[in-house]
């Protein structure tokens, strides 16, 4: 029970880095069912007195392009089913990839709220580069540096406004 937020996005965009930052010391409840591939992590986050569950998706994604796209599609569908809100993460250093665009297409049709997060916005130049992502047509958009934590406060304000 409770409000659940799922983080989706291509591998290496920084989902787990944000997940770890959101759950901080609150100890991830790791999905440890033996014999089952662990492709998701569950944790608990808290902001301004509001608590919510966080799902970090896409732990193990196969390498072949075909399976890869299918797997990501599956993650998005699961997230849309399990979560009350979806964080869609992209990476400013790669710009918009075909997979980002495909995921954006899926997420635009989501009946759950979607907050798009452009990660690795570590400096002023990347802030400028990140403007490219407005062309995805997803609103709202947050620029973030999960490594430094810059932008996470505004993101959490936006997320918890839905709880
Ligand atoms: P995931 O595959 O989406 O879960 O991505 P990870 O969280 O494992 O991060 C992939 C790589 O991106 C790691 O080397 C992270 O240290 C790096 N990374 C994550 N967030 C940031 C960020 O805000 N800035 C920079 N420069 N690197 C980041
Ligand atoms: Mg990860």
The number of C-alpha atoms within 13 Å of 113 and in the hemisphere containing its C-beta is 15
Ligand closest to 17 (CA) is 1
Among 28-42, 89-103, 114-128, 142-156, which stretch is predicted with the lowest mean pLDDT?
A: 28-42
Q: What is the pLDDT of residue 75?
A: 82
75 or 55: whose pLDDT is higher?
55
Q: What is the pLDDT of residue 29?
A: 46
Residues with CB under 6 A from ligand 1: 9, 11-17, 119-120, 122, 145-147
Average pLDDT over residues 70-95: 90
Extents of the domains making up the chain: 4-160
∠ Cα 10 126 132 (to 5°) = 65
Atom of ligand 1 nearest to the CA of 9: 3
Residue 92 is given by DSSP the state T
Q: pLDDT tens digits for 39-74?
A: 678 889 999 999 999 998 875 555 566 777 787 778
Q: What is the pLDDT of residue 32?
A: 46
∠ Cα 85 103 124 (to 5°) = 80
CATH 3.40.50.300 fits 4-160, yes or no: yes
Residue 143: other Cβ atoms inside 10 A: 20
Is residue 3 classed exposed, middle or buried when 0-12, 13-18 and 19+ CB atoms within 10 A define those classes?
Answer: middle
């Amino acid at each position: 029970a409770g409000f659940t937020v799922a983080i989706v996005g291509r591998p290496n965009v920084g989902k787990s880095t944000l997940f770890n930052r959101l759950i901080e010391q609150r100890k991830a409840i790791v999905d440890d069912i033996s014999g089952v591939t662990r492709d998701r992590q569950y944790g608990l986050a808290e902001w301004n007195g509001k608590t919510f569950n966080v799902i970090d998706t896409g732990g193990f994604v196969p390498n072949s392009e075909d399976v890869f796209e299918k797997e990501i599609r599956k993650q998005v569908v699961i997230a849309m089913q399990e979560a009350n809100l979806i964080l869609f993460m992209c990476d400013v250093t790669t710009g918009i990839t075909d997979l980002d665009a495909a995921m954006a297409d899926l997420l635009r049709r989501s009946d759950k709220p979607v907050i798009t997060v452009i990660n690795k916005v570590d400096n002023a130049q990347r802030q400028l580069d990140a403007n490219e992502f407005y062309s995805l047509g997803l609103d709202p958009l947050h620029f973030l540096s999960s490594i430094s934590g810059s932008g996470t406060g505004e993101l959490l304000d936006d997320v918890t406004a839905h709880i």
